[in-house]
Structure 1
Amino acid sequence: MPSGLIALLDDVAGIAKLAAASIDDVGAAAGKAGAKAAGVVIDDAAVTPKYVTGLSPSRELPIIGKIAVGSIRNKLLLILPIALLLTAFAPWALTPILMLGGTYLCFEGAEKLMEMFGGGHHGEAEETSDDPAHLEKKTVSGAVRTDLILSAEIMVIALNDVADRPLWTQAGVLVVVGLAMTVIVYGAVGLIVKMDDIGLHMAQKPSRLSQTIGRGLVKGMPVIMAALSVIGTFAMLWVGGGIVMHGAHELGLHWPAVPVEHLAHAVAHATGPVGGLLGWLVTALISAVIGVVIGGVVALVLHQVGRLKPGAAH
């Protein structure tokens, strides 16, 4: 009996060590995969603030909270199981699906760009309502729908980095990356949209320095929010265009991905200390142009199809 108990305890200790090593493995892989998805996280953070621009300040954080919950649902209940199933049974389908998502982002960005220049209106913009609850529900729905595409890219980037690991390790990494990225993105967004309230609070402090910083925040945040709204639109375009460009490269169409990569490397090597940033900017700008072209074509086609519907305004 004692020897049997000792053997059992040895087995339990061995299992515990294996579990601890596996957790460390998941953590390390999640950190590495998350770093590779950092660019998309920045784009996600730039896109989101535009959804609360112009809404009641008292509803900003609740709306962001609802979007964050929707983002977690996207990542863990939709993307994660589908990604694991596709990886196991149809890995060839991941790239085309991502490209479809990228095309949708291009379309959304192009529609917003057309609105900025007065050349069109988003399909949902024609519907108006004075009901704040209806407007909030519509805002959250649109944000979660856009988040689905960005979250899918984050998760697929993470998945590609651990594609050779066991299935449960892949699942663990995706869960960790999904939750961490959601907290980072929407925590940052919440801080950004409430920065004017923080500035107002600081402006009421007795310290002259605090008052100066607070007034600066209050005056500057409307400009920053307007800028973020524009950045969010262009983020849709460069992310969407980049997804389509890199997806086409993976499917065997090496133009324009290869020339763009060579140009970015050439700019990076020629510009010294700021080469990394300028190389990235080259890729981002060209991706945005591709996004405008793709999104513009899709928007025009959909608008023409919409005009063919009975009763549609011409």
Structure 2
Amino acid sequence: MQIVFLDRETISPRTVLRPIAFDHQLTIYGRTSRDQVAERIANADIVITNKVPLRQEAIEQASNLRMVAVAATGTDNVDLAACALKGIVVSNIRGYAINTVPEHVFALIFALRRSIVAYRESVKAGRWYDAQQFCYFDYPIKDLAGSTLGIVGNGTLGKAVARIAQALGMRVLFAARKGDVHPPGGYTPFDQFLADSDVITLHCPLNEQTRDLISTREFALMHRKPILINTARGGLVNEQALTNAMRQGQISAAGFDVTAPEPPDNQNALIQLLDLPNFILTPHVAWASEQAIQALADQLIDNIEAYQQGSPRNAVTAPASA
């Protein structure tokens, strides 16, 4: 059994990958570029990937490939239709980030709602001494209690974020699918959701239906000038539209942990926003507490062993068109 791990460096070196409990040969690559994928998976029975794209051409050339073990929850980097046509099982990781992502979300929310970064930078610049009194009020500070948190995505992470919000005294709204004017109970029509939220946080997958979910039109509907948090996928928000919304004051602040593409170069729209005191960008680490990464690694091996035993777990369903 040939197993190939395409991007081991995307998992912390402090994380232990326990031995796989069946005879195999494991080949580990720290990184794999797009033009190296086909060659490296050509003889593999099982491929492990976190963020390396597996597209149709490479999948079709991998004659032995029977399983793709994605070392993440999102599977937008894998051509699921091509895998389905060849009977390849695709598994992902679930539930491992139930603490780390919501905690990161609220770290961003607290920092932005209370202007922590702006005040830290102003103290560093000498503003406190210049104020000649015990405090100063250059930036807004607002409570979370009594405000409205809008959540896009009612899965494990969305629900976990909602529980924290409710404990803080926030009202919680879950967004209905865009365009659904008669949503089921418990969901708020998308446009109304945008208008009523003081903070909006995204916890949905990236696909053709959700790409550019938030763009120019949506920013114009945000009447309460909310904080926008994105720890999901960069493509959910049109980055140029976000830049315009930030510069024009359509939203009060934004905290992002993701960009499109990753890593961003110096010309990326979000990098250009880092001069603003009400914008925070972290390098896709919301998922990356030490506890969460170890749980991910353990589940990854569990998925591979379950497949070998004939009982695949966490299988991802390919699109119906496949």
TM over 0.5: no
State which structure, 1 or 2, has the greater radius of gyration over its C-alpha atoms.
1
